[in-house]
Every structure is written in C-alpha cells, then in structure tokens.
Amino acid sequence: MASSQPDTSADDALEQELASLIVEALRLEILPGQIDPQSALFGEGLGLDSIDMLEIALLVSKRYGVELRSENKAALASLRALADHIGRHRIR
C-alpha cells in the first residue's frame, strides 16, 4: 500500500545541494549542514545582503535555469523556499 505523503527525499537533497552551492559560492565560514532550511537567508537569519542575493540569483539561473527577479523575493526567504521555487520552475 502506497503512502499518501509526498517523498521529501528529493526536496531534502535539493536543499542540501543548494546549501553547499551557497556556502561555496559566497565563501561562507560555515558548513552547509549548519544552514537551517527554514531560517531567513537575509537579515538576521544567515545574514546575507543584496550583493549575496544577486550572486545566488546568478548561481540559480546558471545551474537550474530558473530566473529570480525582484517579484520572486519570497523564493529567497529561506533555503526551503528557494528549493521549493526551484523544484517547481527548474528546466535543468
């Protein structure tokens, strides 16, 4: 009998991949596993700024074919929100 719950392993894998990419691209001094998927990426959360946001947007565009624009601000709210957005819109 199949479970009615969605398989979150793909979502978790994407979150982990994104965390690694962000840590590497921004040269953060933390381990990818230390990023709480639900914490804010900007401001008081991870402490990223608008330049970091541009770097992440470029990285996501190149890697997944997903463009992040100013109207997609909610997609950059947290690692989980970013992974959800990419999962819905990716072309690569």
pLDDT tens digits, 32-81? 999 999 999 998 889 999 899 999 999 999 999 998 887 778 899 999 99
Residue 19 lies in a domain: no
Domain that holds residue 74: 40-92
User: What one-character DSSP code corresponds to residue 73?
Assistant: G
Residues of the chain by 3-state class (helix, strand, coil), percent to 5: 60, 5, 35
Residue 3 lies in a domain: no
User: What one-character DSSP code corresponds to residue 75?
Assistant: G
Residue 24 lies in a domain: no
pTM: 0.84
Q: Into how many domains does the chain fold?
A: 1
